[in-house]
Chain A
Amino acid sequence: MAKKKIDLTPAILILPAFILVVCVIIYPIISAVVTSFRYYRLTDILNTKFIGFDNYIKVWSDDAFIASLPNTFKWVAATVISQFIIGLTLALFLNRPFKGRGIVRSLSLVPWVTPGVVIALIWTWIYNGNFGVLNDILIKLGLISAKIPWLSNADTALNSQIVTMVWQGIPFFMIMLLASLQTVPSDLYEAAVIDGTSVIQRFRYITWPHILPTVISTCMLRVIWVFNNVEVLYLMTQGGPGYNSMTISLNAYIQAQKSLNFGYGSAIAVYGTLMMIAFMILYRSITKRFIEEE
C-alpha cells in the first residue's frame, strides 16, 4: 500500500504569519498573564516572586481601580455614542452634492490625522483655567461669569476629556459611514421617492439596513480603541484630579510604566481584557440578532 504523501506547502506558507502572530500577540499576552501572578517591580527586581492571585485580590481594595470602573464605562459609552451620532450626521450631510464638498471632506479629516499627543496638548491649553480660550469665549458670550478650571474640577475633568476624544474620533465614523453610504444604489431612493416615502422612512428602510454592517464593525473597533486609549487621559490629567478621570487602561499603564509595578499593572490589564472579551461576546450576540431582524 502506497504511503499517503503529506503536502507541507500550506503549512510552510502560513508559517511566517504564524510566527509573527506568536511573537507579536500570543507571547506578550501569555507574558502579561504570567507577570500578573508575580510580585514584579522593576525597582525591587531582586525580590521578584510568584504570589498567586494576590494582585487580583488586591485590585478590589484599590480605590483607584474601583473608581476606574464607572469612569471607564462613561468614557467609552459617551465617547463612542457621541462620535457615532455626529459622525453619521456629517456623513449624511457630506453624501449630498454641494460646492466645495471635496475641501470640506479633506478638512474634516484633520482631527483624525493629528497625533494624540498634539491633540491632548492643544485641548489642555483650550481648557486652561487661567488662559484658556474656552473660558474667554464663554465669558464674552455671557454664559459664565467666572473662569472654570475644566480639568481641575471633579465634575468637569472627565467630561472635558470626553469632548476632546469625541472631536478626535468623529472623522473615523464619518469617513467609514460615508464610504458605506456611497454603496447604496441610488435607484432604491428614486423608487422610494416615487412611492411617496418620507426622508425618515427612506433612512430607516433603505439607508440603515445598508450601512448597518459598517456601523457594527466601526462601533466595535472604536469601543476597543477608546477603551485602550491612555495618551489623552494621561497627558491631560493623568487620571485626576484624584481618580475622577481614571480608567482601567490608564490605571494599568500608570502602575506598570510609571510606578514600574509590572505585576500589579498586568493584573489590572488582564481584568480589562476579560471585561472587553465579555463585552465583545455580548455585543456580537446582540448585533447578530439585530442583523437577522433587519
Chain B
Amino acid sequence: MKMKRILLIALAVFMCTSLIASGSSESKEEKPTVTYWYWEDIQGKHVEMLADRWKEYTDDIELILEPIPAGNFHDRLITAVSSGTAPDVFQMYTDWIPELVGLGALEDLTGKFDDWEYIDEVPDYMIDLAYAGYDRMYTFPRSVLTMYLYCRTDYFEEIGMDYPKTMDEFYEAAEKLTRDLDGDGVIDTYGFGMRGATNGHSMWSSLVFNAKPGFDYFDEDGNAQLMDPAIIEANQKYIDMYKNGWVPPTAPTDGFNEILQNFRAGVTGMLYHHVGSSKTVTESLGDNVVAVPLPAGEGGVFGVQEVTNFGIYSGSKNKEAALIFLKWINSPEIQSVICEELQQVPWLESVQKMDKFQDNVFFKASIESLPDSHLLPITTTMSQFTNMAWPQNFQRALLGEITGEEMLQNLNDVLNGV
C-alpha cells in the first residue's frame, strides 16, 4: 500500500516536471513580446498607425498595443509596477520620473541610444528632458507640445488691432475684445479664455513669469522665488483681467474643455493652447483663426512645453526587444505619422523640415517656439502645486478671498515644501 502511494507521488512529480519542461521548451521557441501601454484621445489611432507598420518592420518581435484611459493611466501604471506586472514599454509624463525612479521601475537607458542612427537629429534640449535633472537617462523623449496664442482674425479686424506681441498689447486686446455687440447691456464676447481649474498654471506662468528676464519657479539654489516684486505686479495684472470682466465669469472653474468651447463658439477672442487643438479649432472657425507666438513681457517670452516620454520597465523580460521598439517608434518615418495624426510637434530635425509641417501655420509656430519653451519644474512638490495649491489659491485670489500677494506666498510655501 505504502509502495503504491510512493509510486503515485513519483508519477505526479514526473508529470508536473515534464509539463514545466515542455512549457519552457515551447516558450524558448516563442517570439519575444513587447507590450506597450499608451493613452489616446482618438480611439484606435495607435493601432491604425503602428500595427501594420511594425509587422512590415519586423516579424521577429510581437507587439501588443494596450490603450489605457488617460484619466487613470498613472494609477494603473503605479499599481502594475507595485505588483510586478507593468508593461515592457509605457508612455509617461516627465513629472512622473521622480516617482517611478523612486519605485525602481525605470530601466536605465544611458548610452543605449548611442548607436541609434538618428541620435544626431535629436536636439540637445530633448535629451535634457529625457534626463530630467538626473545623472542617468531613465526615459527617452516621446512627444512635445509648445504653447502659443490662437487669435480670432475677424475679431481683431473689428477692433482694429494687430495680434499682441507684448503683454501691454495683450491686455489692451483683452479689454477691446470684451464687447456688448447688440447693446442689450450683456457682454457677448470676452478677450481671453482664462483657465482657473487644474493645469491653468501653464497659462498663468506664461503670462506672468515673462515679467522678469530669466525668471523661473526656482532660483539657482532650488528655492521657490514667486515673491519677486515684478512677479507680484504681473500676477495682479493677470488677476485683474477677471476683476475687469475681460474673461468669462466662469473663469475660476473653467478647464480645458470650457476654454476651448468658449473660443470655438466665439465667446472669447484669444485662446492659449497648442497644436493639439488646431484641427478642432479650424473645423469650427475656418480661416478666422491664426496662431501667434506668446506675448513678451519685460523678460521676453515664457513658453511652456508639455512633454511625454517613453519608459522601459526595469522588470521587463524583453528589454532588448523593448529597446528595438523604442528606436523604431522614434524613427523619422513613424514620428512623422504620429505627429500628423495626433497633432504633436515633431522634434527630429528631418521631420521638422518636412513640407507637411513647415506649410502648416500651427505646426510651424510650434516648431519655432520649441527652443525658447520651458519645461515646468520636476520636483517632489510639483504634483501638490498643480493639483491642489495652484487652482485653489488662484481661484481664491480671483474671488477676492485672498490677495494676489497672499496667493503667491501660499504657492511659494508649497513649492518650498513648507
**CB–CB B383/A260 < 8 A:** yes
Taking the complex as formed, is A243 at the interface, i.e. its CB lies under 8 A from any CB of chain B? yes
Taking the complex as formed, is A169 at the interface, i.e. its CB lies under 8 A from any CB of chain B? no
Taking the complex as formed, is A254 at the interface, i.e. its CB lies under 8 A from any CB of chain B? yes
Partner-contacting stretch, out of A105-113, A125-133, A171-179: A125-133
**When chains A and B are docked, how far (Å) is the Cα of A42 from the Cα of B395?**
26
By beta carbon, the residue of chain A nearest B198 is A238
Q: Mark B83-114, 1 if CB is under 8 A from A, else 0.
A: 00000000000000011001100000000000
**When chains A and B are docked, how far (Å) is the Cα of A9 from the Cα of B398?**
66
Partner-contacting stretch, out of A13-21, A24-32, A78-86, A145-153: A145-153
Q: Shortest beta-carbon distance, A203 to chain B, in Å?
A: 43
- CB contacts (< 8 Å) of B219 on chain A: these are none
- CB contacts (< 8 Å) of A129 on chain B: these are 248-250
Partner-contacting stretch, out of B17-25, B116-124, B283-291, B386-394: B386-394
Interface residues of A in 8-53 (CB under 8 A from B): 41-46
**CB–CB A130/B265 < 8 A:** yes
Pick the contact of B395: A131, A241, A258 (CB < 8 A).
A241
Q: Decide: A259 near B401, CB < 8 A? Known: A44-B98, A45-B99, A242-B396.
A: no
**When chains A and B are docked, how far (Å) is the Cα of A234 from the Cα of B401?**
21
- CB contacts (< 8 Å) of B398 on chain A: these are 241
Taking the complex as formed, is B1 at the interface, i.e. its CB lies under 8 A from any CB of chain A? no
Taking the complex as formed, is A182 at the interface, i.e. its CB lies under 8 A from any CB of chain B? no
Contact residue range for chain A?
35 or more
Taking the complex as formed, is A240 at the interface, i.e. its CB lies under 8 A from any CB of chain B? yes
**CB–CB B384/A154 < 8 A:** no
- CB contacts (< 8 Å) of A255 on chain B: these are 388
By beta carbon, the residue of chain B nearest A129 is B250
**CB–CB A241/B252 < 8 A:** yes
Taking the complex as formed, is B297 at the interface, i.e. its CB lies under 8 A from any CB of chain A? no
Q: Provide the main secondary structure of the chain B interface.
A: helix
Taking the complex as formed, is A239 at the interface, i.e. its CB lies under 8 A from any CB of chain B? yes
Taking the complex as formed, is A71 at the interface, i.e. its CB lies under 8 A from any CB of chain B? no
Taking the complex as formed, is B230 at the interface, i.e. its CB lies under 8 A from any CB of chain A? no
Add 14 more A-B contacts to A42-B78, A260-B99 (CB < 8 A). Answer: A44-B102, A45-B102, A129-B249, A130-B248, A131-B261, A149-B248, A149-B252, A152-B249, A237-B253, A238-B253, A240-B391, A241-B252, A241-B399, A259-B387
**CB–CB A240/B250 < 8 A:** no
**CB–CB A242/B392 < 8 A:** yes
Q: Mark A74-106, 1 if CB is under 8 A from B, else 0.
A: 000000000000000000000000000000000
**CB–CB B102/A42 < 8 A:** yes
Taking the complex as formed, is B3 at the interface, i.e. its CB lies under 8 A from any CB of chain A? no
By beta carbon, the residue of chain A nearest B71 is A117
How many A-B contacts if CB must be within 8 Å?
100
Q: Shortest beta-carbon distance, A72 to chain B, in Å?
A: 17
**CB–CB A240/B252 < 8 A:** yes
For B78, B198, B249, the residue with the greatest tally of chain A CB atoms inside 10 Å of its CB is: B249
Q: Decide: A42 near B387, CB < 8 A? Known: A131-B261, A242-B399, A243-B396.
A: no
Q: Mark B241-258, 1 if CB is under 8 A from A, else 0.
A: 000000011111110001
Q: Mark A233-259, 1 if CB is under 8 A from B, else 0.
A: 000011111111000000000110111
- CB contacts (< 8 Å) of A43 on chain B: these are 98-99, 102, 380-383
Q: Mark B372-387, 1 if CB is under 8 A from A, else 0.
A: 0000000011111001
Q: Shortest beta-carbon distance, A7 to chain B, in Å?
A: 29
**CB–CB B251/A152 < 8 A:** yes
**CB–CB A151/B253 < 8 A:** yes
Q: Shortest beta-carbon distance, A145 to chain B, in Å?
A: 8
Taking the complex as formed, is A64 at the interface, i.e. its CB lies under 8 A from any CB of chain B? yes
Interface residues of B in 345-395 (CB under 8 A from A): 380-384, 387-388, 391-392, 395
Q: Decide: A64 near B383, CB < 8 A? Known: A43-B99, A146-B186.
A: no
Pick the contact of B102: A46, A149, A238 (CB < 8 A).
A46
**CB–CB B388/A241 < 8 A:** no
Q: Shortest beta-carbon distance, A151 to chain B, in Å?
A: 5
- CB contacts (< 8 Å) of A152 on chain B: these are 196, 249-254
Taking the complex as formed, is B262 at the interface, i.e. its CB lies under 8 A from any CB of chain A? yes
Q: Mark A45-66, 1 if CB is under 8 A from B, else 0.
A: 1100000000000000000100
**CB–CB B388/A242 < 8 A:** no
**CB–CB A154/B380 < 8 A:** no
Q: Mark B61-78, 1 if CB is under 8 A from A, else 0.
A: 000000000000001001
**CB–CB A240/B249 < 8 A:** no
What are 11 sample pairs from A and B whose C-beta atoms fall under 8 A apart? A43-B98, A43-B380, A43-B383, A44-B98, A130-B248, A130-B250, A154-B401, A238-B391, A241-B396, A243-B396, A260-B383
